[in-house]
Amino acid sequence: MPMLEEIKNIVTKCLNEKSVTGDFYAFSERVFCFRETGVTNLEDTFYEPALCLVLQGSKQTILGERQLRLSAGDTVLISHHVPVRARITNASETKPYMALIVRLDMATIRTFSVEIERVSNHSKVAHSVASEKADKVLLETLHRLLAVLSDPLEAATIGESVLKELHLRILQAPHGGMLRQLASHKDMANRIAKAIQFVREHYSESLAVGILAREAGMSDSAFFQHFRRITGTSPNKYLKSLRLLKAQSLLTFEGYTVSAAAYAVGYESANHFSRDFTKKFGHPPKSAKPVMPSQ
């Protein structure tokens, strides 16, 4: 795929010549690339709404009972903030894993609600994390986007229009079914997205399923069913995963004590927090070593 190679060359050049760290470079606030020079362990994380294009190497992603194995040329579309387990399975110093990420703008997605009616008839089963090989049109749009963002004048004048075109290409893709559903304000996918946003804003509070169901405008049973279908987990497990990952960040990067981290993310008992943390990460929270960000 010549166009894939051209995109990879642009990304490699930026990482080699412009990156401060050597492993991460941002073309803009919403478009960035990174590389990893070795395989990684299977780790818990949250994916945000985005398009990911794998440029080199391979990766494994697990969402609930679904498993995706990704390699060069694969694109991943993520429609919701969802908990996953992921690891890089093929990378080395001489041939690192590399990927290009575009954070999606849900407001832009919803502006295409009328146009999406014309492409919805070819939807497959919709998933919140779905993969397909990148087609020629999508690769050409990504290549043009990187070229535009590399020129300050073009980025300021036509950058947003090329990003909007990319969103349309994504919505037309075979694996864009869940995003097409999000274009409808009344669709269940949109209601679950609203509930997820509420959880992310209020995760340190007491959040029963009934509260979230009302936020989504659904019955408790319907909410539970659709939430699990879209996120791959239950509302309570989603909340627990989010709290524990937030606490891990507080312990590692902000120097919180175990008790302070526990209470900050909504736990009422430091002992309960320690048990859940150890079960999830395989080590107690007190063994998390603080790493202060470099200046």
Q: What is the DSSP string of 49-96?
A: SEEEEEEESEEEEEETTEEEEEETTEEEEE-S-EEEEEEEEE--SSS-
Q: Over the range 256-280, which residues count as b (16 or more CB within 10 Å of their CB) and which as e? A: bebeebbbebbbeebeebbebbeee
Give the model's pLDDT for residue 295. 31
Distances (CA, A) of 23 to 14, 96, 252: 10, 10, 20
Task: Mention the CATH class of domain 2-182.
Answer: mainly beta
Give the model's pLDDT for residue 185. 63
Half-sphere exposure of 166 (CA within 13 A, CB side): 29
Q: Give the model confidence (pLDDT) of 140-153 as tens digits.
A: 999 999 999 999 99
Give the model's pLDDT for residue 292. 43
Give the model's pLDDT for residue 20. 82
Low-confidence ranges of the chain (pLDDT < 50): 292-295
Domain 237-287: assigned CATH number: 1.10.10.60
Every domain of the chain and the residues it spans: 2-182, 188-233, 237-287
Give the model's pLDDT for residue 259. 96
Residue type, 1: M
Give the model's pLDDT for residue 118. 64
| pTM for this prediction | 0.90
